[in-house]
A and B are shown apart, each in its own frame.
Chain A
């Protein structure tokens, strides 16, 4: 009898009907893997409770920057934790994750005036992490922000301002495209100074001027210090004097190193121009070198431009010229000159003071009528000297017509970009004239020069993307603009406004604050 196919199939399982109760290898492996996966998850949960620091590292989306490295394993050092109670009392708060995440406790260690105290949206500016993004690796800079952080408001600034108006450029989208010209270029200088004249060899007024200055002639006129200070590279005392930028402009590099003898020699020559000045007072020990020091008259100018009263005579007394201190307004100067003149007039050779008080005279002699004129003579001489010195002041200092007597103080222009930083050291590979034109032979005397800064275009030659005509060198907003002292740009990082209100001990700092366990 032929076997039916169904019989054949059924016969296969004779004695093995309950096969489906037994796990086949495939199912067995699947179950084992599923149990393994469940244990893996549970294992991690144990780590979460037993080693919360280790677990925190895994939740962090990146290492903290170097200054915050101590808090890699401690979320609560910076983040404010939220309890389940808070969540369940207001479940919708889950959707405010972004603001909760950025609700940090930075001010435990940091402080600083807000960037824009008059910005409309203060809530944005008050959250540090809206701009400073951590968790981007140890070497990530927290202050190198993308331009979008700035253009968020600056591409249309006025509406973001509390008043709806702004005195700054309203639309800036990038440095390369629409950064306005530097406002510093519009500043009117208070000093009549010709870089052209001072940079011309021999400091001559023109090609036909035969009176060129040489180290020798400087020495004869102003003494050996002047000769030594402006000695030529060849050593020939009859070479024309050639000043360069460094003759007057000095980076705040600090005092010369002891072994740098030539720098020390020049330094000491400058130091001698200020009697009694210590090395520390003229060049404190600093090393950043970002900015040039303000040009100091006593250090840079006086050696060739001493301020002296004119020689004069009174009665039979010759009064030699004498040094007048710089940086005095008219009244103060008058007192100085008057004192110096009085000292010189009070000589026993002065007939005005020759009062005969010898034997035979009266015990109460009548006042010498000549002596009564001493004061008047002193006044006359003082005003005459003041007049002469005033003319000397006016050679350099510009005073508007409205200011009759006093000299307007010069603004401190060691920092020209008040809302931006600039580092001269970074640019020292270039000639000064690359960015500061105006030292050519042609110059005008007795006029105030415009600021010798080439302008924003010259910066964009290098600092702009290659496809925008630049050289691709960094051109972000934050490469020049620093914040939190925007309204007081000269204060810098050392400003006391940046000091935290309640400084921490090292232990407290490493724990992430005073409140941290």
Chain B
């Protein structure tokens, strides 16, 4: 566990939020409240401790950004990933009050305000990503047993669409002569012995129409939002109807077709979960880069004129 030792998702999320809140409250809330109550002066960025906090905050930001080159150099096994990530998270949380006090709880000029807002967005997106990464993998395990590599879903779906085409063809066309050296020769012999398609007439037409207009487009992801196979209930109804229409001997094929549709449905869900699981990085990483760049510019300018 990166934060806390709770095994439950809720416990881990609670630990993250509690840690973030406690660090912010102690690190920033206490100085703010003390200044409000006039126990001490209002924090000033240009005071010696303001500069010190700025330098500490800057150092933390640079360490946080080091996660990126560390990923490039993962083969060097510099520090265990788990340790690095734990430091990344803890330092990230600690950096929030450090920077807020450094800023004197103000925005300052346009550039420093922009940098601070970027920093807050980076921190918020980081916390959001951390929470999401506690929650979704468990959900993925529970609800997507047929999980595949997320980036390969469309490729695998095409493979499945081709398989569906073949399976339906095997029911609606005459079996070919079999190759005696084929490892499946015994099975193929039985099929070839039939001499004619398993499904003929209207049921065959119905099956092919189902394959061409419903199943294959769904597997290929064309118009999947409108597909009747999008929901489990409707899908089951459709395949039950198909099973009733076709002869008993086609049941195995129909079961496989239903399985393919079910996998595709799971992968759709997996895609959505994957977007949530990693999508925050589309925000977190570029914002971090911009924030670091502007932070350096801010620091140089401040040291020149302050």
Contact = CB atoms under 8 A, between A and B. Distances in A.
Contacts of A38: 289-290, 293
Given A12-B152, A16-B155, A98-B47, A41 B303 contact: no
Given A82-B305, A101-B46, A16 B152 contact: yes
Query: Which among A11, A19, A38, A98 has the highest number of chain B CB atoms within 10 Å?
Result: A98
Interface residues of B, number: 51
18 contacts: A1-B187, A12-B148, A19-B149, A26-B278, A30-B282, A37-B286, A41-B289, A55-B111, A59-B109, A61-B106, A87-B303, A94-B55, A94-B303, A95-B52, A97-B46, A97-B48, A97-B50, A98-B48
Contacts of A355: none
B235 interface: no
The 6 closest A-B pairs by CB, nearest first: A41-B293, A24-B151, A37-B286, A33-B286, A37-B290, A98-B46
Interface in A25-52: 26-27, 29-30, 33-34, 36-38, 40-42, 44-45, 48
Contacts of A22: 151
Interface string A59-89: 1111000000000000100010111000100
B21 to A, nearest CB: 28
A333 B163 CA distance: 132
A313 interface: no
Interface string B271-293: 00011001101110111011011
B252 to A, nearest CB: 10
A79 B305 contact: yes
A97 B302 contact: yes
Contact of B109 (A58, A82, A96, A101): A58
A16 B151 CA distance: 12
A82 B302 CA distance: 10
B48 A95 contact: yes
B298 interface: yes
Interface string B25-68: 00000000000000000001111101110010000000000000
A59 B303 contact: no
Task: Give chain B's interface secondary structure class.
Answer: helix
Interface string A1-31: 1000000010111101001101010110110
Contacts of B274: 26
A238 interface: no
A57 interface: yes
A149 interface: no
B159 A14 contact: yes
B221 to A, nearest CB: 13
Contacts of B290: 37-38, 40-41
B301 A59 contact: yes
A96 B55 CA distance: 13
A44 B306 CA distance: 20
A328 interface: no
Contacts of B149: 13, 19
A143 B293 CA distance: 37
A488 interface: no
A400 B93 CA distance: 79
B297 interface: yes
